[in-house]
Structure 1
Amino acid sequence: MQPKVYYIKANRFLLEDEERQGGFLKVEHGLFGDFINEAPPSATIIDWTGYTIAPGLFDTHIHGVNGYDIMDGTAEAVDTISKAILPFGVTRFLPTTLTASDEGIVKAIHAITEAVDKGLSGAKSEGIFLEGPYFTEKYKGAQNPIYFKNPSVTEFNEWQKLAKGTIVKIAIAPERENAIEFIREIGRDVVVGIAHTDASFECCKEAVDAGARKFIHLFNGMSGLHHREPGVVGAALVDSRAYAELICDGFHVHPEVATMALKLKKDKLVLITDCMRAGLMPDGNYLLGEFPVVMKDGIAKTESGSLAGSTLTLIEGVLNLQAWSQEPLYRVWHRGSLSPAASIGKADQFGSIEKGKVADYVVLDSELTVRAVAVEGVLKYERDL
């Protein structure tokens, strides 16, 4: 049984503003404590000499993995996703829905709440992300347009009641009828993101003024940047009030453009996977919602050729962006841990190694491969050597 109080010894710690070499990090009752140079004589030491300790990653946009999808509408699917992402350093996630019928959305909400109430086996859920159904068709991606409709506060409140208040994020197209009023009402308590939209730059600014605080999978599912009409991309890049998600698999966004986004958005950049059920699976035929998807060479596409989510792991996205940008690892790592937490108002609870925060951490070897993962100070995964 793991002790309630112990000290982690390691070669390197990825902190918010630096990489600390050596020392001992106290973990006390599931929270990070002080750094000290020498541990007390009677202390329990967890010895990770030769390794790096990083904060747990947080995937705020993930539909599925390992053959399962949130829209399967079963508690088993939610728990399997939770377990599958833990060995890749993810300690928190937002189970993410797709545009679907009302029955399909309700079924997914019930499944998530049931799984969370039972207790997830791996990463912890920090709430539900509703991606849709309030989108527009031009940039529909792999969202099913037959279910698109205008935002409704009444409908959302019904979903929120079913979810026991755990919906923390919703994505909408701000040009839809009633969208700005919806943002003003819902955005007080829930993170409203902009996605699958052909909105103008001015419309996006109005949406952010109204309370929208996130742009979903930047550059994908939105009007692009033009020097006379900055569009959704332009609004996302220049508005310092809003966070922007980024998929760093090298397919959704060119590496140089991803690096540009990091330079412009800084700590408002949130790395995500947007992973679907084909993640960690072999090439072949899959479903994303109701759409057939073919995965070849790790790239998932619909029959029409649209990208259908990704098969990325979040740690791959972090390491890709670090390699592309040549920024220090600690700085890019926090775009996958601290920025996601901050984007839903929970940066004071987790996302970085800081005294008083939840002790979610990842043990990395010299090749930056995950060796072990702890959630709230308890070791939940350790790779066999």
Structure 2
Amino acid sequence: MQHWLTNAQIFTGTEWLSNAHVCVADDRIVAVTTEQPSADVPQHNCHGHRLLPALIDAQIYGGGGRLFAQYPDEESLSLLAAANRKGGTAACLATIPTFHMEVILESAKAVKTYMAKGGEGILGLHLEGPFIHVEKRGAHVAEWVTVPTVQQIAEILEAADGCLKMITVAPECCSNEVLHMLQDAGVIISAGHSNASYTQAQQFSRRGVQTVTHLFNAMTPLHHRNPGIPLAVFEDANLMASVIPDGIHVDYGMIRMAKQLMGERLFFITDAVTDCHEGPYQHVLNGDHYALPNGTLSGSAISMLQAVRNGITNIGLTPDESIRMASLYPTRLVTNH
């Protein structure tokens, strides 16, 4: 059924339209116009409020008190989608950290089943690990970190059946054959939790890597003698990168610098978790972030709307650009593959 949202300030991604109207049919935007719609169609008057493009989160682990990796089922995905909507996120990549193969395959099958039933709010699966470098594991469980085999990748791809959208790996731990398999399957390869040198990172995009996971976190650091992964990312126009704008994972000044160097290649993620008091990933809310019981930083507590606010207030972005970092730029990455 068709209905209209009228009298709104609408941000198209490039400009603001005043006194504009949106036509929605079957939950899809089919028209944006400044011409008044016919009075005989259902309308909701927005009274001048702002309408923004859908916010997209490419890395989030759960919502509503149900961590997806701990409960890899459709209920977790439904609760995640509902929690996301409250924070401005229309769609996300449901993410699981390093785990054993049984949970990885269960998660892939759960996303596949959920998406086959409509997949509201879920764009696919983001597998962060277990194919990472153990020295850069962060809050990930060390015993499950492993070097990927062709057989493992084949199993995961079969279980996901097209729903594995992104995988975070340490490229220096992956063979070219494994990376080519992922490329051929249309999976976005992201470098993260990586101990790669600057020289190794300069080869990322040539090996099929398209983006980098949570820039500055869990990677070789930017140093004047050993530049690490960040400098290679700054220099490579073919690489995008996500960043967590909570002021805890990364200082806002570092994000400001990265933005000046990368422009539209940098985008926001929340890296958010939810309360979990059982299993290997027990996330405890510690003020404005989550930590493991041993105090290790394990995830953010921000929403994508808060990420946008932080971009404006703390990083110094214009409202338009901060919105694009949470919508247009991640959408380019996720929907172009």
TM-score, structure 1 normalization: 0.81
Paired residues in the alignment total 334
The answer to whether 1:133 aligns with 2:124 is no
Residue matched to 1:204: 201
Residue matched to 1:99: 98
The offset of 1:50, in angstroms, is 2.7
The offset of 1:102, in angstroms, is 1.0
**Distance of 1:331 and 1:308 partners within structure 2:** 28
SS of residue in 1 equivalent to 2:325: coil
More displaced, 183-192 or 22-31?
A: 22-31
Q: Is the 8 A contact 2:11 2:53 kept in 1?
A: yes
The offset of 1:186, in angstroms, is 1.6
Residue matched to 2:61: 63
The answer to whether 1:290 aligns with 2:289 is no
After TM superposition, the structure 1 = structure 2 runs for residues 69-108 of structure 1, keeping only pairs within 5 Å, are 69-71=67-69, 72-108=71-107
Cα-Cα RMSD: 2.1
Q: Larger relative contact order (C-alpha < 8 A, sep ≥ 6)? A: 1
**Distance of 1:40 and 1:175 partners within structure 2:** 59
More displaced, 25-34 or 219-228?
A: 25-34
Residue matched to 1:216: 213
SS of residue in 2 equivalent to 1:94: strand
- Once the two structures are superposed, residues 326-375 of structure 1 have per-residue CA deviations (whole angstroms, 9 ceiling, x without a partner) of 3321221121111111112349xxxxxxxxxxxxxxxxxxxxxxxxxxxx
Q: 1:177 to 1:344 in 2, by over 3 A?
A: closer
After TM superposition, the structure 1 = structure 2 runs for residues 18-167 of structure 1, keeping only pairs within 5 Å, are 18-29=15-26, 30-71=28-69, 72-120=71-119, 123-167=120-164
**Distance of 2:167 and 2:314 partners within structure 1:** 30
Q: Residue 214 of structure 1 aligns to which amino acid in structure 2? A: T
Q: Is the 8 A contact 1:195 1:217 kept in 2?
A: yes
The offset of 1:41, in angstroms, is 4.9
**Distance of 1:295 and 1:26 partners within structure 2:** 40
After TM superposition, the structure 1 = structure 2 runs for residues 8-19 of structure 1, keeping only pairs within 5 Å, are 8-19=5-16
Residue identity (%): 24
Q: Residue 108 of structure 1 aligns to which amino acid in structure 2? A: S
The offset of 1:190, in angstroms, is 1.0
**Distance of 1:41 and 1:191 partners within structure 2:** 45
The offset of 1:26, in angstroms, is 3.3
**Distance of 1:97 and 1:201 partners within structure 2:** 27
After TM superposition, the structure 1 = structure 2 runs for residues 333-348 of structure 1, keeping only pairs within 5 Å, are 333-346=323-336
Structure 2, unmatched stretches of 5+, are none
Q: Is the 8 A contact 2:170 2:191 kept in 1?
A: yes
**Distance of 1:41 and 1:75 partners within structure 2:** 41
Residue matched to 1:185: 181
Residue matched to 1:356: none
Structure 1, unmatched stretches of 5+, are 279-284, 348-385
Q: 1:177 to 1:44 in 2, by over 3 A?
A: closer
Q: Is the 8 A contact 2:274 2:283 kept in 1?
A: no
TM-score, structure 2 normalization: 0.92
Q: 1:320 aligns with which of 289, 310, 319?
A: 310
